[in-house]
Amino acid sequence: MPTLSSDDAFAEVKSKIDLVKVVQEHVRLTKRNKDYWGLCPFHQEDSPSFHVNPQRQSWYCFGCERKGDVFTFVELIEKTDKRGALMLLAERAGVELKQLSPDQKERADGRKRVLAMLKLAAQYYEYVLWKSPAGEPGRRLLESRRVGEETASRFQLGYAPAGRGFAEYLRAKKRSLVDAQEAGLMRRDGTDFFAERLVIPIRDERGQVLAFTARTVRQDEQKKYINSPETPAYIKGRVVFGLDLARDEIARRGHAVVMEGQFDVITAHQFAVSNAIACSGTALTEEQVRLLKRFTDELLLVFDSDRAGREASRKAAVLAAQHGMRTRVLAVPGAKDPDEFLRSAGPDAAARWEEIVAKAPSGFEAGMEEDSVGLNPSNPNQVERVGARLREWIRQFPATLREGYAETAERHTGISRHMLLEDPEARPPRVAQNGGPAPRKPARKLTASGYLLQLLAVRPGAFDRVRTKLTAEELDADDRPVYIRMLDSYERGGPTGLEADLAGYPAEEQDLIRRAWAAPPPNVDDEVAVELAERIRLEHMKGMQNGIIRELSEAERGRDSERVAQLEAQARELGRAITDMERRS
Ligand SMILES: [Zn+2]
């Protein structure tokens, strides 16, 4: 097997990628001094303990103690391995990886071909919709839905005509029909998978077409909507429909409107609710929540008011809470879905929308109201039943929220919060989905030698002054190996040698260094380094002196006069050196 990825590839990709930018796609970072802080994407927390050091291109979480460089970050966030992270980042940096395994190369190429084919198909469908007589049924459908041309083109809507139009188009362009099949666009017989349907591209948050969903224009068709199958470019539940168009407005308004269907979203945008997105399917997935969390902390859930829709709302509220997000649940009065609501409101749609948004209860409250509807507080049986339902509802949320929720429920129902919080079966609390933060290691007492290591991690240039004053043996035994490794990196790679080599260091040494990068010691300059080196040397010499004195008394007891004389000479010499050093400092 060929080498998959030489160190060169890692180094080249790393030099072209900014860790801060990569992290920012997943975490909202706030700049403090030169560094960035945010909520850790790898454990649940309310206050930021995730730290990014842009100079070192290193990150460290003080909560869960995960850490690493840009590759480690991508590995964890994309749930891939080191090679996977390299491939993703290389693609982004425009670095050609020559040494992929044939298998990986094939996969990467396959994905690229599928993406190119999807892009081409979207262009073809859009052309047919507007420029070809065959697009007439699609145009009529849009008209009946009152979707204007401007909105349609923002969503790049298109129409797939009956028959083999797309195959012919590909033949004319001398493109491979196999790729089109691979992309889920064409059946084996060459007929278009989406024939006689209005096609809606499903794009990622950067606007790249990954799949299609398509609505039939025929009255007699049983399946109203069909979707692309999963392909090398499309994994269901990972994409959020409309996010590429809604992301700025989501940031501006501070919340995302989550709808069930793509058409709801298109109508919403048409009526100025342009922070609307769809989860494409009834349930919001964990990956979608993570993706959305990059853009906002609050989701406004607008699901159907039927049983399935209410269930979906509840699940989404709990899932969002587990990721530290707030939810509100919006009911559209007098309409079966938001599409109908907005269309019937017509020109007043935006204002009517604001009205109902302002009244939307939180995700917890919506479920609570549902669970306690029609409760008669003087009927003990009812109180018991509602209490049990509410208890179960509260228990689904993270522990930090439960007390507040029980209080809210008590105010609403009159059922005591203690009853709502108590656990009748005394089951252990459920473990949160990501597991809590890892237990903290007890902090090591900071010795002079430990301080020096931290300082050198942050300021490797200080080695120039330190290495002439100190040998590795003079350091605490635990600190020697990492000191030697760091010195070696510095001597070979200069001030950036440490960053370049760090990934190859043992885990506990990486931990020490990245931690120092995230929280540097109070004073970092060459003078402090020299002082520390001298103190370490002094302490080491005193330790040696003590050893010699112990040995001396043993030699005296054993009447070994030769040994005694030798040790006395050593002790004298050391004593002089120590006095010397103490006088100087
Ligand atoms: Zn963390």
> How far apart are the CA of 44 and the centre of ligand 1, in A?
7
- Which amino acid does the sequence have at 501? D
For residue 31, the CA-to-ligand 1 centroid distance in Å is: 18
Whole-model pTM? 0.61
Look at the block and give the residue holding tokens 């869960």. Answer: 64
Q: How far is the CA of 514 from the centre of ligand 1 (A)?
A: 14
| pLDDT confidence of residue 445 | 61
Question: What's the CA-to-centroid distance between 528 and ligand 1, angstroms?
Answer: 32
| Interval between CA 117 and ligand 1 midpoint (Å) | 39
**d(CA 400, ligand 1 centre) in Å:** 17
Q: In angstroms, how far apart are the furthest CA atoms of the chain?
A: 114
**Residue 39 CA to ligand 1 centre (angstroms):** 8
Cα–ligand 1 centroid distance for 45 (angstroms): 8
How remote is the CA of residue 451 from the centroid of ligand 1, in Å? 24
Q: Are 209 and 122 in contact (CB under 8 A)?
A: yes
- With CA atoms as reference, report the closest residue to 540 among 465, 448, 445, 460: 448
How many angstroms is it from 328 CA to the middle of ligand 1? 27
For residue 6, how far is its CA from the centre of ligand 1 (angstroms)? 30
Determine the Cα–Cα distance for residues 479 and 20; give it in Å rounded to an integer: 31
Ligand 1: centre distance to CA 440 (Å): 11
Q: Are 482 and 453 in contact (CB under 8 A)?
A: yes
Label the pairing between strands 30-32 and 209-216.
unpaired
The position carrying tokens 């980042």 is 89
Ligand 1 center to 141 CA (angstroms): 49
CA of 156 to the centre of ligand 1 (A): 39
For 220, 252, 255, 272, 496, the CA distances from 358, given in Å and listed in that order, are 41, 16, 12, 16, 53
Q: In this predicted structure, what is the pLDDT of residue 4?
A: 42
pLDDT of 434: 42
Express each pLDDT in 276-297 by its tens digit.
Answer: 999 876 689 988 998 888 788 8
How far, in Å, from the CA of 37 to the mean position of ligand 1? Answer: 11
Residues 6+ away with beta carbon under 8 Å from 24: none
Q: How far apart are CA 310 and CA 329, in angstroms?
A: 9
Residue pair 97/112 in contact by the 8 Å Cβ criterion = no
How many angstroms separate the alpha carbon of residue 88 from the centre of ligand 1?
23
Q: Are 142 and 198 in contact (CB under 8 A)?
A: yes
pLDDT tens track, the chain, 585 positions: 334 446 678 888 888 899 999 999 889 999 888 899 999 998 888 889 999 998 888 999 988 888 999 999 998 888 777 888 998 898 888 887 766 677 777 777 888 899 999 999 999 999 999 999 999 999 999 999 889 999 999 999 999 999 888 999 999 999 989 999 999 999 888 899 999 999 999 998 878 999 999 999 999 988 999 999 988 888 888 899 999 999 888 888 889 999 988 999 999 999 989 999 998 766 899 889 988 887 888 999 998 888 888 999 999 999 999 888 999 999 888 888 888 888 888 889 889 999 999 999 999 999 999 999 888 888 888 888 999 999 999 999 998 899 999 999 999 999 989 889 876 554 444 443 443 343 334 444 678 899 999 999 999 999 999 988 888 889 988 899 999 999 999 998 888 889 888 988 988 899 889 988 888 887 888 888 998 999 898 888 888 888 888 888 888 888 888 888 888 888 888 888 888 888 876
pLDDT value of residue 423: 65
C-alpha pair distances (Å), 424 with each of 66, 391, 421:
37, 10, 9
Q: End-to-end distance of the chain based on CA atoms, in angstroms?
A: 59
- Say how many Å lie between the CA of residue 41 and the centre of ligand 1: 7
Quote the ligand 1 centre to 434 CA distance (angstroms): 10
Determine the distance separating the centroid of ligand 1 and the alpha carbon of 24, expressed in angstroms.
15
Distance 322 CA to ligand 1 centre (A): 14
281 CA → ligand 1 middle, Å? 30
Question: If we measure between CA atoms, which residue out of 238, 268, 237 comes closest to residue 253?
Answer: 268
pLDDT at 346: 84
Edge-first strand listing for the sheet containing 67-68: 30-32, 35-38, 50-53, 58-61, 67-68
